């Protein structure tokens, strides 16, 4: 209802055509949004899209400020998750969360719960001493990311645990989050993956 009152603007990706595929992207650019083929999927990881083209534009802009409607649109596609799982958002840095007025990983986790049941548990937090990664050289960066997260709420290993992130690049962030959780069986969900 509210969406219908907002006039559609120019496509976020090409900045030229009218956004006519949805509220953000034109039909021409939408062709670049591609689901991940089953043959390139990773074990114990659910990946919806290739992080390229208009999908990259959407995911970069959807988090600053947070646009839940974009995640909702992207998740409105064919995939399945286990019923009644525990979804654990990969924590975003608190200062960025303030600036964006919301946390994209929490938003995605909430959408998954709405569709597949279960609940969101904020089991992880970022360590406070963590500095902006870009300011650090490679080795120091690796050293820091290894302990970037800490467990702040214990998890039950009998639950289906699913770590939630928006984008997977090398997988290091998810690995660090997983080791901070310390659970044997953890599944991962990401909206986009860099190939
Ligand atoms: Zn376009």
Q: 24 alpha carbon to ligand 1 midpoint, in Å?
A: 9
Q: 54 alpha carbon to ligand 1 midpoint, in Å?
A: 8
Q: What is the spatial distance between Cα 6 and Cα 113, in angstroms, rounded to a whole number?
A: 27
Average pLDDT over the chain reads 88
Q: 51 alpha carbon to ligand 1 midpoint, in Å?
A: 16
| pLDDT tens digits for range 41-75 | 788 999 999 999 999 999 999 998 899 999 999 99
pLDDT for the residue numbered 62:
93
Q: 9 alpha carbon to ligand 1 midpoint, in Å?
A: 11
| pLDDT tens digits for range 129-171 | 655 555 556 655 555 567 889 999 999 989 999 999 999 999 9
pLDDT for the residue numbered 93:
77
List of domains in the chain: 1-31 (no CATH), 43-193 (3.40.50)
Tell me the two tokens of residue 65: 């400020």
Q: 84 alpha carbon to ligand 1 midpoint, in Å?
A: 38
User: 147, 92, 170, 153: which is closest to 119 by C-alpha?
Assistant: 153
- Taking the model in full, what pTM does it have? 0.87
Question: Is the Cβ–Cβ distance between 85 and 114 less than 8 Å?
Answer: no
Tell me the two tokens of residue 147: 């302990």
Q: 194 alpha carbon to ligand 1 midpoint, in Å?
A: 21
- Is the pLDDT assigned to residue 19 strictly greater than 80? yes
pLDDT for the residue numbered 65:
85
Q: 68 alpha carbon to ligand 1 midpoint, in Å?
A: 21
Each as own residue / partner, the long-range contacts of residues 114-119 (CB below 8 Å, 24 or more positions apart, any chain) are 115/75, 115/81, 116/80, 116/81, 116/82, 116/83, 116/84, 116/85, 117/83, 117/84, 117/85, 118/83, 118/84, 118/85, 118/86, 118/87, 118/160, 119/86, 119/87
pLDDT for the residue numbered 137:
62
């Amino acid at each position: 209802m509210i969406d219908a009152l907002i006039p559609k603007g120019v496509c976020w990706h090409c900045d030229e055509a009218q956004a006519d595929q949805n509220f953000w992207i034109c039909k021409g650019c939408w062709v670049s949004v591609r689901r991940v083929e089953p043959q390139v999927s990773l074990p114990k990881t659910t990946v919806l899209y290739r992080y390229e083209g208009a999908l990259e534009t959407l995911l970069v802009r959807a988090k600053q400020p947070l646009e839940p409607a974009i995640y909702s649109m992207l998740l409105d596609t064919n995939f399945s998750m286990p019923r009644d799982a525990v979804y654990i958002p990969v924590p975003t840095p608190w200062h960025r969360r303030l600036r964006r007025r919301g946390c994209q990983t929490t938003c995605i986790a909430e959408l998954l719960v709405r569709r597949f049941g279960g609940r969101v548990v904020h089991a992880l937090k970022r360590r406070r001493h963590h500095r902006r990664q870009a300011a650090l050289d490679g080795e120091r960066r690796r050293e820091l990311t290894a302990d970037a997260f800490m467990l702040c709420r214990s998890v039950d290993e009998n639950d289906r645990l699913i770590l939630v992130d928006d984008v997977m690049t090398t997988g290091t962030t998810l690995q660090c989050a997983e080791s901070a959780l310390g659970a044997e069986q953890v599944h991962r969900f990401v909206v986009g993956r860099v190939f």
